[in-house]
Structure 1
Amino acid sequence: MYDLTAFQRDILYVIAGQNDPHGLAIKDELEEYYENEVHHGRLYPNLDEVVDKGLVEKGEADKRTNYYTITARGQRELEDRRKWEDQYVGELLSNSE
């Protein structure tokens, strides 16, 4: 996970939170979060990167549409990231409730 960009981590979170999303669904979620347009030239190379790293699997829904699924390794990486974050902000966030 340490070698991913923040954008790539956000892609993992979006994929993990949906059921086999396609590229445009991922793009829509990221645009809503960033409150800014995410260009195809940024999204798809980063999707390919997380696929190449074995964190996400890419499948073909039809000839024009791919879907993405988090792998077991990707899930472990997200869980490890959450544990690491909790070391620093977990107590802070639980105290603010």
Structure 2
Amino acid sequence: MRLFMITDARYKFIHAERGFRPMLFDMQTDPSEFHDLGRSADHQEIIDLMYRRLGKWTRRVTKFDAQINAGKANPSGVGIVLGVYDQGEIDPDLTIKYRGASPDRQA
């Protein structure tokens, strides 16, 4: 599943593929993102605005699905690591940028 996230000065908006509802957070009143406003009828105009912005941004994507899928089959280790709770859940090579090289890897 792919997630797409955009922000502006106030809101953070997340769209998930496969029919999941959007998520919306008011970063001014809820900087810790505890209250998802994605179901709020009072925020529908903001959700619509964020979808328009996301649509405009995604039209700039330069990779086709076949290229993305090929990258999944042969990952290069380049990218963003999201949602990791326990570092033991992922390959240590993907977090080396954040941890620094281990002594056994240095020449």
TM-score range, shorter chain: 0.3 to 0.5
Of Structure 1 and Structure 2, the greater helix share is in 1
Structure 1 length as normaliser, TM-score? 0.35
Structure with larger RCO (C-alpha < 8 A, sep 6+): 1
Could you state the TM-score of these two structures normalised by the residue count of structure 2?
Answer: 0.33
